Amino acid sequence: MNSIDILYILAHPDDESFGHAGTMLLAAGMGLTTAYVCATRGEAGEIRDVALSTKPQLAARRDLELRRAMRRAGLVDLRLLGYRDSGMDGTPENNDPRCLMQADEDEVTAHLVVAIRDMRPRVVVGFGPEGVYGHPDHIRIGKLTDRAVIEAASDADPGLGELWRVEAFYHVAAPRERLIASRNNPESPYYQAPMEVLNRLGSPAAEITHWIDTGSVAAEKFAILMEHATQISSDNPIADQNSDLHKHFMGIETVIKHDLPWESAANDPISHIRDTYPANTVGYNAL
Ligand SMILES: [Zn+2]
Q: What CATH number did the domain enclosing 81 receive?
A: 3.40.50.10320
**Distance from Cα 160 to the centre of ligand 1, integer Å:** 27
**Distance from Cα 46 to the centre of ligand 1, integer Å:** 12
146: pLDDT strictly greater than 90: yes
Confirm if 172 and 133 have CB atoms less than 8 A apart. no
**Distance from Cα 125 to the centre of ligand 1, integer Å:** 14
Q: Residue 67: inside a domain, yes or no?
A: yes
**Distance from Cα 127 to the centre of ligand 1, integer Å:** 10
Nearest to 122 by CA among 264, 26, 3: 3
The total number of structural domains that make up the chain: 1
Q: Residue 69: inside a domain, yes or no?
A: yes
Q: Residue 1: inside a domain, yes or no?
A: no
**Distance from Cα 14 to the centre of ligand 1, integer Å:** 7
- Average pLDDT on 13-42 reads 96
What digits encode the pLDDT tens for the residues 81-115?
999 999 999 999 999 999 999 999 999 999 999 99
Higher per-residue confidence, 249 vs 67: 67
Print the domain residue range for 229.
6-286
What digits encode the pLDDT tens for the residues 230-243?
999 888 888 888 88
Give ion ligand 1 contacts, CB < 5 A: 11-12, 15
Give me the pLDDT at residue 5, please.
Answer: 98
Higher per-residue confidence, 280 vs 123: 123
What digits encode the pLDDT tens for the residues 174-221?
999 888 888 888 878 888 999 998 999 999 999 999 999 999 999 999
For the beta sheet containing 252-258, the strands, ordered from the edge strand earlier in sequence to the opposite edge, are 77-83, 34-40, 6-10, 123-126, 168-173, 252-258, 210-213, 276-278
**Distance from Cα 18 to the centre of ligand 1, integer Å:** 9
CA atoms of 111 and 80, how far apart (whole Å): 10
Instruction: Quickly state the pLDDT bin for 274 (edges 50, 70, 90).
Output: confident
Backbone torsion region of residue 283, taken as left when φ is above 0, otherwise alpha when ψ lies between -120 and 50, otherwise beta: left
